[in-house]
Amino acid sequence: MTFREVLSIVSVRRLWLAQLVSVFGDFLCIFAVFSVATFRLHANAAQLSLLLVFYMLPLAVVSPLAGVLVDRWSLKRTMITSDLIRALIAASMFFATRVEHFYAIFVALSIVSAFFVPAQSVTVRLLVPSQGLLTANALMAQAMQVTQIVTPAIAGIMVDTVGPNIAYGFDVFSFLFSALMVSGISYHREPQPAKSLAIMHREMSEGLKFIFTHSAVSFVMIAMTIGMFAIRCFGALMAVYVRDILSATSSLFGVLNSMVGLGMIIATQFIHRAGKDKPAKSLVVFGLLVAGCFIAFLAALGTVPTTFLGMLGLGFGVAFVFIPAQTLLQQVTPMAMLGRVSSSLISALAFTQVTALTLSGGLAQVIGIRNLYFGSAALLILLSVAGYRQLTAASQPPLEVSPVGTEVPISEQTS
């Protein structure tokens, strides 16, 4: 399906608009927080890494339980409630004056977001025909990418000129707008009450068993988690890299991060076409290789122009990793456990990011930021080589859609 065909579905269009505005508010607020912490509160590399640790750690812990509940609860009610609670939490940023205040706010936002993200993933699967899932995920990613281009530059300039409060206020508004858009979504799925802790534990175990016994799902889970480790080691210290290596200000930090979004937008124009005759695994391997090569290029030269190009290429590669991987999970996972599988991925990625963020600040102080970047690039490239060798051995064919809408690789159908 084309982008226009997917957006012609009214509920998908409403969900996409909710994503666009909500992510814009999130990015505006997050970059404002990082700019304030780096250039006003003079936080060091370890403190900046802890900002994301305090967001990711609760997400990692809460997500497995949240996925079980999402598979049973009303998806619309879950997303609306999550948006309203997060609007209240975001409003508390007006009163934050220390880095520790932002730690507490990020913990609260993380806990509530653990319910929204898998509910949104399941909703996309319910609203979009099987042959349109890759395009729909590319559209949802584009909402994030467009905002990633615009908001970092706006946030950096805003903090330097009028202060961060406008960014905080728009984040509050964006959650309210998202709740309004989601309220008009129409789908059919009967919620089921969670009957007991024993049943919830059994359902969580069933989701984990599916992940570890399905070759395609386990591959993308491993690739995404290891890839995220390397990418997060790189991204967490970009503000410090701009300040110490490029000797620049928060405005350049914002503009450079916009290049990642631009690279991802360029990639989405190719992904849904490449997915027609290439398996999702191949696209993921290609993305890992591209991301690793551009991080190495950026670290080797260390100038403003090459950093611009490196961030652009990184965004291109990241899109080829995450969009096909998300689509594959939606296609091959039974609907009844999609919330659990999506939440398990969120939890694994969050734990990986916490590990990377915990280590990156200290490692950067010992070996230097540029050497840390070289290590991140090497990990991504090695992972892509391992993935390519596995693909060559397996010779996996592209995904095929069955008449009843259950999508599995042909190799899985015949095995």
Structural domains in the chain, sorted by start: 3-184+198-394 (1.20.1250.20)
Q: What is the pLDDT at residue 111?
A: 93
Q: What is the pLDDT at residue 406?
A: 42
Q: Which residues of the chain have pLDDT under 50?
A: 396-397, 399-415
What is the reported pTM?
Answer: 0.75
Distances (CA, A) of 354 to 4, 29, 51, 316: 38, 20, 10, 24
Q: What is the pLDDT at residue 187?
A: 80
Say which residues have a Cβ less than 8 Å from residue 363's Cβ, sequence separation at least 6: 233, 372
CB atoms closer than 10 angstroms to residue 161: 8
Q: What is the pLDDT at residue 152?
A: 65
Q: What is the pLDDT at residue 412?
A: 41
Q: What is the pLDDT at residue 236?
A: 66
Alpha-carbon gap, residue 195 to 326, rounded angstroms: 30
Q: What is the pLDDT at residue 9?
A: 92
The CA angle 249-253-255, to the nearest 5 degrees, is 120
Distances (CA, A) of 234 to 311, 345, 360, 389: 11, 21, 8, 26
Q: What is the pLDDT at residue 254?
A: 67
* Helical spans, DSSP H, in 128-164: 133-161
